[in-house]
A and B are shown apart, each in its own frame.
Chain A
């Protein structure tokens, strides 16, 4: 340790340097400049970037004692005084921010490029390739890259040099581009402790003995709690056993290393194949099966399930419609296509001039890795508990906490001001929260627990890998006569998968048998991930349909038009013919040479979920209107949606409307799941707006003695003129109204696992056309361009909706081309330790993306507002697979499309 001096954001400061700390430890933890984020700690993600003597540097890999005498600039120090840097302004105006966790790093890398560019080229427009290279060290899991490219380019070109600060598309962008936004990982109470988890290196074991006495006695250690008792069962490597809290993270890590645990470990089932093998070790016994968590969006609801070893299946239907369909499907296939075995893909004439397309399709596990890891800061105050949590479900978690610790609902408060990405992985009460709450109770101090990235990759969540046997039968006229889908999901210790069911969403009419199996193994539980079960379903189905078209010598678009009667999607097929290059598509594998281009098409549909009990409150005070609801912003822009409803509806500037969310004490609001936030919030907000206007009408009429007054667009019309909404608000303040989400017209939404979640009528749909380039020499695929046509009623805020779609496409490109969770077969350890070795798409991998919202449909939903965050994740993989087939004439069956598979050298 030594005291050294450096300049940070223009101020000379002293800091404690040590030979173990990184520059990030100094800047973020010692000085409190939390705009610099800690994510991979391996130089791979760029979230910790700071400028050192003008050059971007990975502060997580920079030793703290090399900072002495240097000039450091963090995102907090950009711009001058109250003025933002042009790059920051460009980020506001170009909607270049989703969850915002990567934003400080991108802004700094953008500023470094901007300054170099300006020095050499003035306000010339930089070529895209140079911007991509300059930003190549920044990763964005939300997939905001295209917006960021636009922002940096436009800033360099001088578009944001002067003028007022640009108007942001999102409510919270200003906080995010300046590093002021406080995420859970940034929360710091004065006496806060750091908590660390001790996890199991074994996949299948029993904890025999624990000795945590030595750890508890180490200096700085304030609490040690056991998350699993002696005799407790370990079902996957990385399972949490003990938690330790100490004054500093280093002391807590040291204490964690001092905890001695003796295990009885046994052989583990570390893959789906191993778990299905004869004599495989069982993950659950008959008694503890109920404890398995859910890997799907909803709890596991098999009415009748049957276990065989580690495979959990629905019992086959005995009677009724499903049984009749089963028989019809069996007849259509005339037995023996063997969907149960590894049937080699084939297509053969099966009588009556039709054909069977039958094959096995695989997808690898995909980790969520939101840039902000699972994180919790818990603080007890007597019997009340405040929990800052990186979550997509403040209300739901507050209920779960109250239940688990036997608290009344007003004793628990869950807060999530900003959430650095979630994608489905942050819906429940997970280990980091349990540990923080217990440690805080034991120590009497606030405690922060943040998963390190190795833990995030191991246990933070993943989309289960899958194997889907799909067979479709066509009749003599080329129509679809039967569909059989049997899907096995590699769910780890969790249960639940709907791949086959989802594959049945398209092409209504033909009889179908859809069976979903969960295969449990000694690996961390799968979790819902953006459109759970969707991508594997359409990866199989839409390539099989493409294959059927190819066999019939028909245009895949025409075949879909013939098979698919759903009016919403038929409009999308028309869109393909007019808005994409599909009509000019040539024959399969036409190009010569090693680098080939291809065009692929895929369709997909999803459920329309909503949370019918959503309410929104509006409070009018002297400063304007405050909207509040217990929901949370994970990068979708829901604050902005709320603000825009009221700003537009009352003729106010967005600055006059404040949105308060991220607090479980507020009016009950939606969790961010199933693309249901928009569909829940927007209609509820409009209802609140209507009530508020009526309230304003009543007060204004009374106070001003208006005659013949009525609500109009611009205010209150009355016999003597118009009272603007702004005036009416002033008259009414203070007042408060609460609106609720109106029911959809027509048939009621089916309640879906709880009264809080419903599934409405109609199927939001997408049709996607993608162009790829395949390099046959190296087995590499690059996505060049993609066109997405979406039928989602009405896109409420098209700019934000488009940014969301970019994200879904880009995450999906990751799934299709790069991402594959690897488990060591011998030990069951998840091999990835950080974004250094878990490859998500970077800025160089992002194609041009065109998003069109094809209007119409969903007239039964107020505002025609249905969600779309998941749609573009559904069709991307199959559209790429079909494009690769078009380019090469070869059909890829496994995700990701790695070079081994492309080169025909897979193991």
Chain B
């Protein structure tokens, strides 16, 4: 029997498995990885809706990607978020999938999804992808599970400096929400850090600065409805000079990966094509590609450059990834 709590406290007591849109939970349950009676979050009013607040925008965890992509406030003030939401999956998934579920989703690694394999994420002792097929793997922090975090929205929300509201834990950054280390200092191969009973209720986005722009760029093989190989979100302000900039990459690390070296290189400098190029060249600083993912380093650098150029267009239009 599915539980349908109407109050947060009750939902927290039930402990999960929580079900938002259920698109991901259905998959996990078929894999036998989310047993128990589902706790449906639909009746919880605090998880719904998108509202303007005193210091920004509040996006309820239960907002669907369809709503998010079409919301006027989001489209105007957080264009990268609207673009990213529209790039996720396809219309018939976006009408079900929610913001919270997207950020908290498990990996899509084929080994994880295959019922006849064992791996770190399923409680096993090693990562078969490392020596096997891993063309979609991460290029940063691959000490443990080599799969990247799959959430597009997490990357973009991190770029906007969004904070997650979690029952019992207060306000968390995306990093705190998604990343935890073992005593050995290695990332734990988990999709997020929420314990049973902890509910994500909303994301708080700071108000955009004056003149703020943002861009989302996705590199994928097929033109539409494909998973990204590399994705980049950039938020910035300043015209001739880079007044502020944040660059976060997705599909390349176990969590949204902030490219500080790039940010530092271009910050406060002139926004010339050359300067942007020099900055983008630092995108792979600290990367450690596996044999099958070296190509991602090239894509990452090019994607960062293209995203920066979208924020500071030179004379001519920058072509989008060929599709």
A residues sitting closer than 8 Å to B (CB atoms) are 1-2, 19-20, 22, 41-44, 46, 49, 52, 55-58, 60-63, 65-66, 109, 112, 132-134, 136-138, 201, 237, 454, 594-595, 773-775, 777-782, 817-818, 822, 824-827, 829, 831-833, 836-837, 839, 841-845, 898-900, 903, 905-907
Residues of A within 8 A of B224 (CB): 132-133, 136, 842-845
**In whole angstroms, what is the CA distance A827 to B299 when docked?**
31
A/B interface sample: 30 pairs, CB < 8 A? A2-B1, A49-B92, A60-B26, A61-B21, A61-B93, A61-B96, A137-B92, A774-B322, A777-B306, A778-B298, A780-B322, A781-B322, A818-B222, A824-B111, A824-B132, A827-B117, A829-B114, A829-B116, A829-B117, A839-B222, A841-B222, A842-B222, A844-B224, A845-B223, A898-B221, A899-B221, A899-B229, A899-B299, A900-B294, A905-B295
**In whole angstroms, what is the CA distance A406 to B275 when docked?**
79
Residues of A within 8 A of B66 (CB): 55
Taking a contact as CB atoms under 8 Å apart, the answer to whether A900 and B295 are in contact is: yes
Number of B positions contacting A (CB below 8 A): 59
Q: CB < 8 Å: which of B133, B292, B297 contacts A824? A: B133
**In whole angstroms, what is the CA distance A827 to B119 when docked?**
13
> With A58-B23, A824-B132 in contact, is A833–B93 under 8 Å at CB?
no
Q: In the complex, what residue of chain A is closest to B89 when comparing beta carbons?
A: A43
B135 within 8 A of A: yes
Taking a contact as CB atoms under 8 Å apart, the answer to whether B110 and A822 are in contact is: yes
Q: CB < 8 Å: which of A46, A782, A826, A903 contacts B295? A: A903
**In whole angstroms, what is the CA distance A60 to B30 when docked?**
11
**In whole angstroms, what is the CA distance A831 to B110 when docked?**
6
Closest Cβ of chain A: how far from B20's Cβ, in Å? Answer: 10
Taking a contact as CB atoms under 8 Å apart, the answer to whether A58 and B93 are in contact is: yes
B199 within 8 A of A: no
Closest Cβ of chain A: how far from B141's Cβ, in Å? Answer: 20
Q: In the complex, what residue of chain B is closest to A62 when comparing beta carbons?
A: B96
Residues of A within 8 A of B1 (CB): 1-2, 19
B264 within 8 A of A: no
Most A C-beta atoms less than 10 A away, residue of B116, B292, B302, B321: B116
Residues of B within 8 A of A55 (CB): 66, 91-92, 95
> With A19-B37, A19-B38, A63-B26 in contact, is A52–B95 under 8 Å at CB?
yes
> With A781-B322, A829-B116, A844-B225 in contact, is A57–B95 under 8 Å at CB?
yes
Most A C-beta atoms less than 10 A away, residue of B23, B38, B90, B298: B90
**In whole angstroms, what is the CA distance A82 to B228 when docked?**
44
Taking a contact as CB atoms under 8 Å apart, the answer to whether B116 and A780 are in contact is: no
Taking a contact as CB atoms under 8 Å apart, the answer to whether A58 and B92 are in contact is: yes
Taking a contact as CB atoms under 8 Å apart, the answer to whether A56 and B91 are in contact is: yes
Residues of A within 8 A of B306 (CB): 777
Closest Cβ of chain B: how far from A306's Cβ, in Å? Answer: 33
Q: In the complex, what residue of chain A is closest to B3 when comparing beta carbons?
A: A19
Residues of B within 8 A of A824 (CB): 111, 117, 128, 132-133
Beyond known contacts A112-B91, A777-B306, A839-B226: 5 more, CB 8 A cutoff: A1-B1, A60-B26, A136-B90, A833-B110, A837-B110
**In whole angstroms, what is the CA distance A109 to B225 when docked?**
14
Closest Cβ of chain B: how far from A346's Cβ, in Å? Answer: 26
> With A19-B1, A825-B132 in contact, is A782–B323 under 8 Å at CB?
yes
**In whole angstroms, what is the CA distance A595 to B221 when docked?**
15
Taking a contact as CB atoms under 8 Å apart, the answer to whether A778 and B89 are in contact is: no
Q: CB < 8 Å: which of B89, B113, B223 contacts A137? A: B89
B108 within 8 A of A: yes
Taking a contact as CB atoms under 8 Å apart, the answer to whether A61 and B95 are in contact is: no
Residues of B within 8 A of A780 (CB): 219, 221, 321-323
In chain B, positions 94-111 with a C-beta closer than 8 Å to chain A are: 95-96, 108, 110-111
Closest Cβ of chain A: how far from B29's Cβ, in Å? Answer: 7
**In whole angstroms, what is the CA distance A201 to B115 when docked?**
9
Closest Cβ of chain B: how far from A833's Cβ, in Å? Answer: 5
Closest Cβ of chain B: how far from A777's Cβ, in Å? Answer: 4
**In whole angstroms, what is the CA distance A46 to B25 when docked?**
18
> With A65-B2, A777-B302, A899-B229 in contact, is A56–B92 under 8 Å at CB?
yes
Residues of B within 8 A of A905 (CB): 294-295, 297-298
Taking a contact as CB atoms under 8 Å apart, the answer to whether A826 and B298 are in contact is: no
Q: In the complex, what residue of chain B is closest to A21 when comparing beta carbons?
A: B26
Q: In the complex, what residue of chain B is closest to A593 when comparing beta carbons?
A: B319
Most A C-beta atoms less than 10 A away, residue of B229, B298, B305, B306: B298
**In whole angstroms, what is the CA distance A44 to B297 when docked?**
27
Q: CB < 8 Å: which of B114, B223, B292, B321 contacts A842? A: B223
B72 within 8 A of A: no
Q: In the complex, what residue of chain B is closest to A837 when comparing beta carbons?
A: B110
Q: CB < 8 Å: which of B26, B89, B113, B135 contacts A898? A: B135
Q: In the complex, what residue of chain A is closest to B289 when comparing beta carbons?
A: A905
Closest Cβ of chain B: how far from A209's Cβ, in Å? Answer: 19
**In whole angstroms, what is the CA distance A112 to B22 when docked?**
22
Residues of A within 8 A of B226 (CB): 839, 842
Closest Cβ of chain B: how far from A848's Cβ, in Å? Answer: 14
Q: In the complex, what residue of chain B is closest to A594 when comparing beta carbons?
A: B319
**In whole angstroms, what is the CA distance A61 to B116 when docked?**
22
Taking a contact as CB atoms under 8 Å apart, the answer to whether A778 and B322 are in contact is: yes
Closest Cβ of chain B: how far from A798's Cβ, in Å? Answer: 29
Taking a contact as CB atoms under 8 Å apart, the answer to whether B114 and A43 are in contact is: no
**In whole angstroms, what is the CA distance A686 to B248 when docked?**
67
Closest Cβ of chain B: how far from A16's Cβ, in Å? Answer: 12
Residues of A within 8 A of B121 (CB): none
Q: In the complex, what residue of chain B is closest to A897 when comparing beta carbons?
A: B221
Closest Cβ of chain B: how far from A201's Cβ, in Å? Answer: 4
**In whole angstroms, what is the CA distance A512 to B22 when docked?**
60
**In whole angstroms, what is the CA distance A822 to B134 when docked?**
10
B19 within 8 A of A: yes
Residues of B within 8 A of A831 (CB): 110-111, 114, 132-133
Q: CB < 8 Å: which of A56, A595, A842, A900 contacts B319? A: A595
**In whole angstroms, what is the CA distance A133 to B294 when docked?**
31
> With A136-B224, A782-B323 in contact, is A22–B26 under 8 Å at CB?
yes
Closest Cβ of chain B: how far from A680's Cβ, in Å? Answer: 37
Q: In the complex, what residue of chain A is closest to B38 when comparing beta carbons?
A: A19
B303 within 8 A of A: yes
Closest Cβ of chain B: how far from A898's Cβ, in Å? Answer: 7
Closest Cβ of chain B: how far from A202's Cβ, in Å? Answer: 9
Taking a contact as CB atoms under 8 Å apart, the answer to whether B95 and A56 are in contact is: yes
B291 within 8 A of A: yes
B42 within 8 A of A: yes
Q: CB < 8 Å: which of A62, A201, A817 contacts B22? A: A62
B40 within 8 A of A: yes
Closest Cβ of chain A: how far from B162's Cβ, in Å? Answer: 25
Interface string of B198-227 (1 = CB under 8 A from A): 000000000000000000000101111110
Taking a contact as CB atoms under 8 Å apart, the answer to whether B221 and A839 are in contact is: yes
Taking a contact as CB atoms under 8 Å apart, the answer to whether B114 and A833 are in contact is: yes
B52 within 8 A of A: no
Closest Cβ of chain A: how far from B310's Cβ, in Å? Answer: 13
Taking a contact as CB atoms under 8 Å apart, the answer to whether A136 and B322 are in contact is: no
Residues of A within 8 A of B322 (CB): 595, 773-775, 778, 780-782
Taking a contact as CB atoms under 8 Å apart, the answer to whether A66 and B22 are in contact is: yes
Residues of B within 8 A of A19 (CB): 1-2, 37-38
Closest Cβ of chain A: how far from B240's Cβ, in Å? Answer: 25
Residues of B within 8 A of A903 (CB): 295, 298-299
In chain B, positions 59-103 with a C-beta closer than 8 Å to chain A are: 66, 89-93, 95-96
Residues of A within 8 A of B294 (CB): 900, 905
Residues of A within 8 A of B305 (CB): 777
B131 within 8 A of A: yes
Most A C-beta atoms less than 10 A away, residue of B21, B23, B91: B91
Residues of A within 8 A of B92 (CB): 43, 46, 49, 55-58, 109, 137
B27 within 8 A of A: yes
Residues of A within 8 A of B295 (CB): 779, 898-900, 903, 905-906
Residues of B within 8 A of A779 (CB): 295, 298-299
Q: In the complex, what residue of chain A is closest to B113 when comparing beta carbons?
A: A833
Q: CB < 8 Å: which of B26, B221, B299, B319 contacts A817? A: B221
